[in-house]
Amino acid sequence: MNLDDGLVWIKYLFYNIQYIHLINYCQCTKWNSASTNLRSFIMAHCCLYLNNIDQSIHFFLRASYNLGKEVYLKKLVSLGMTKNSTSSDTLIPNAQLKTSRRSIIISRPSITAANTSPMLGLVSATDENAVLLDYYTKTIHYYDLNGNLEAAIELIQNALLKCQFDYKSKSKLYCILFKSYMDLEYFDKAYISLMSNTDIEWKKICLKNFISELCNQNKSEILVSFDYGDLLNEVFNILMYRAKAIDLRTNDLYRVLFSLNIRCKNYRRAALCMYECYLRLQREVHGINSLKRQEKCLLTCLNVLKLVDPKFAWINLTDLDLP
């Protein structure tokens, strides 16, 4: 049997979910000896759906070596594409990241049936980096469908170490890595992935998602514990924008801003946050509880200003951006 005939048979076994027979077929025949990438890809698929996660990662990595020059693997992949499938899964820098669990920031290819093994649809790109990135984003998608985000993370980490990606491809993989950690609520590792990304646009998008998720989960102590480096002003801007838009009866992000400014020893700015909170409470929230909160804001403001040089222990009301 030649390789082209073998591809037809492989396609049949894939669509009928005959993974045991597919493994035996690959191991007992020599038709695919001309393409080690193709054999590794088939074995990886079988191991994944038989829940042999470690072996699937190993084979997916092997299948990616010299992928741009691999003809037969691309041919098998194109056979698995459906009419409704898109030709590529693109990462959109300007798109807002979703925060739902087990979601990754790539568009999902359509699948012919619920029980059908989805086949990869690689882009017909001449750029090897684009092909390699598309291969890994879709492979990660399989782990996500299978409920193995931690395995997807391990695959990305190995790919970043062993494969040669260009600047843009590497930044997108770091972004997917960040999102996977956020879905699993591994915030420390998500922070490391965020700061490791060298693309400033992607980094800002991830930062906004990071702050939003921690604020929504009321985990401000985690948020203020990290060192944001040159992104610190961006963090302040995001938090201030959210603080101004939020209802003070249910949430109070001014405390988060205050804590972050105190941690950075920016005492005048911390006092300004408390004073702005006082003014908004005075205008927007009524009742005895509001008066108690206003009192705490003013006392905190006065106490913090005592930490400032007396020459500068004052608040410039023009710095307040209130309607």
Instruction: Tell me the per-residue pLDDT of 81-98, one tens digit each, with 9 for 90 and over.
Output: 333 444 333 322 333 333
User: What percent helix, strand, coil does the chain show, rounded to 5?
Assistant: 65, 0, 35
Answer yes or no: are the C-beta atoms of 43 and 111 closer than 8 Å. Answer: no
Answer yes or no: are the C-beta atoms of 48 and 120 closer than 8 Å. Answer: no
Please check whether residues 159 and 302 belong to one and the same domain. no
Q: How far apart (Å, rounded) are the C-alpha atoms in residues 224 and 95?
A: 26
Whether the per-residue pLDDT at 319 is higher than 90: the answer is no
- Residue 245 has a pLDDT of 87
How many independent structural domains does the chain possess? 2
* Range among 51-55, 86-90, 208-212 with highest mean pLDDT value: 208-212
Instruction: State how far Cα 206 lies from the chain centre.
Output: 7
Sign of CA dihedral 286, 290, 294, 297: negative
Sign of CA dihedral 155, 158, 164, 166: positive
- Residue 211 has a pLDDT of 94
Answer yes or no: are the C-beta atoms of 258 and 273 closer than 8 Å. Answer: yes
Provide the residue range defining the domain that includes 133: 1-79+128-165
Report yes or no on 251 lying in a domain. Answer: yes
Please check whether residues 224 and 156 belong to one and the same domain. no
pLDDT band at 132 (very low <50, low <70, confident <90, very high): confident
Please check whether residues 38 and 155 belong to one and the same domain. yes
Whether the per-residue pLDDT at 34 is higher than 90: the answer is no
- Residue 80 has a pLDDT of 30
Please check whether residues 31 and 143 belong to one and the same domain. yes
From the list 213, 246, 212, 207, the residue with the least C-alpha distance to 228 is 207
| AA letter at 264 | C
Q: How far apart (Å, rounded) are the C-alpha atoms in residues 265 and 260?
A: 9
Answer yes or no: are the C-beta atoms of 184 and 99 closer than 8 Å. Answer: no
Q: How far apart (Å, rounded) are the C-alpha atoms in residues 51 and 146?
A: 9
Please check whether residues 160 and 222 belong to one and the same domain. no
What single DSSP character describes residue 121?
-
Please check whether residues 151 and 261 belong to one and the same domain. no
Please check whether residues 65 and 140 belong to one and the same domain. yes
* Range among 27-31, 32-36, 137-141, 288-292 with highest mean pLDDT value: 288-292
Report yes or no on 143 lying in a domain. Answer: yes
